[in-house]
């Protein structure tokens, strides 16, 4: 059955790939954007402006039966806000709740909310994160996503709209930005990286795999009311990640063997504690509920995803192609 789907944050890294895939398989897709992108999107596009409790969703939601809500205030490097949590709440909690209420009032059947694995916490030790864990968000962004999930469950009970929550870990793939792009740049430049002694496991998700999972969550009846964790089929250690990316970039991985405890201490002193923590600690996701409920299998394996990401980087950023 073909659906009429609104995608918020449609001009972003995940959203731009999602609208192409939804359209390819025959769904009507409408994009909601905060500002018009430099290049026009290949679908009906509605400008909604900044997302808050006051956003007018009526034009975007007209005739829509399914919403995939990707738009959010994400991590802000060197955030200068005097109250970052209030800023995150304004967009991610109040803005999301307003969209859900408007969706319920306009007859939308399902809203898929793209949350974050950070709702579960920052690090796993004795077992993987599961969808049934008590939330343990540790920073303002994660707190806002956890609170948004709570608000959505309340609205679900009040209005009858189906809410599906998806919590991805780090998303990578062609077009990636943020810390993953910085890592690619350092490997490409031959900068020695102090992670050779790290023995950890990290779950990530290739953008194409996330898109595949979101399509299933938006279109399958069995997804209604569920919270899913999503990840690639294989986990990877930080040294394995660096070595794999270096190989596909045609570089030599320059890994220094520095003990994890010392690295964490140095990271805290340098004000990079959270960043070093992510590279030295483990974060493993149990995605079994998604696989068992929807029969979902990630279509792309980790090595293929990393190769495609490295190929994109070589064509667009690498010093060897300047």
Considering just the CA atoms, what is the radius of gyration of the chain in Å?
20
Contact (CB, 8 A) for 138 and 118: yes
Which residue of the set 28, 141, 150, 248 is catalytic?
141
Is residue 248 part of the annotated active site? The answer reads no
**Among candidates 118, 254, 269, 116, which has minimal Cα distance to 183?**
254
Rounded CA gap, 225 and 222, in Å? Answer: 8
Q: Give 71: exposed, middle or buried? Use CB within 10 Å, 0-12, 13-18, 19+.
A: buried
Rounded CA gap, 170 and 162, in Å? Answer: 26
Q: Give 232: exposed, middle or buried? Use CB within 10 Å, 0-12, 13-18, 19+.
A: buried
Catalytic positions, written as ranges? 141
């Amino acid at each position: 059955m073909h659906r009429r789907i609104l995608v918020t944050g449609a001009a972003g890294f995940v959203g731009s790939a999602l609208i192409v895939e939804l359209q390819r398989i025959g769904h009507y897709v409408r994009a909601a954007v905060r500002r018009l992108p430099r290049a026009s999107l290949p679908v009906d596009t509605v400008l909604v402006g900044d997302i808050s409790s006051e956003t007018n969703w009526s034009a975007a939601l007209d005739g829509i039966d399914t919403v995939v809500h990707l738009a959010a205030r994400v991590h802000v490097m060197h955030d200068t806000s005097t109250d970052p949590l209030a800023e995150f709440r304004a967009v991610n909690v109040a803005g999301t709740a307003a969209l859900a209420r408007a969706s319920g009032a306009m007859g939308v059947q399902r809203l898929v909310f793209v949350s974050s694995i950070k709702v579960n916490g920052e690090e796993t030790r004795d077992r993987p994160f599961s969808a049934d864990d008590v939330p343990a968000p540790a920073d303002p962004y994660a707190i806002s996503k956890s609170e948004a999930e709570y608000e959505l469950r309340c609205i679900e009970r009040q209005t009858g709209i189906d809410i599906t929550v998806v919590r991805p870990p780090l998303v990578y793939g062609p077009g990636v930005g943020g810390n993953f792009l910085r890592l690619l740049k350092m490997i490409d430049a031959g900068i020695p990286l102090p992670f050779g002694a790290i023995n950890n496991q990290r779950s990530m998700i290739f953008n194409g795999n996330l898109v595949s999972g979101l399509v299933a969550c938006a279109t399958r009846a069995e997804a209604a009311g569920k919270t899913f964790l999503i990840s690639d089929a294989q986990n990877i250690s930080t040294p394995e990640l660096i070595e794999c990316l270096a190989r596909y970039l045609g570089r030599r991985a320059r890994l220094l063997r520095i003990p994890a405890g010392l690295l964490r201490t140095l990271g805290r002193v340098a004000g990079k504690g959270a960043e070093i923590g992510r590279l030295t600690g483990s974060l493993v996701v149990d995605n079994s509920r998604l696989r068992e409920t929807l029969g979902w299998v990630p279509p792309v394996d980790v090595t293929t995803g990393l190769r495609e990401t490295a190929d994109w980087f070589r064509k667009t950023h690498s010093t060897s192609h300047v």
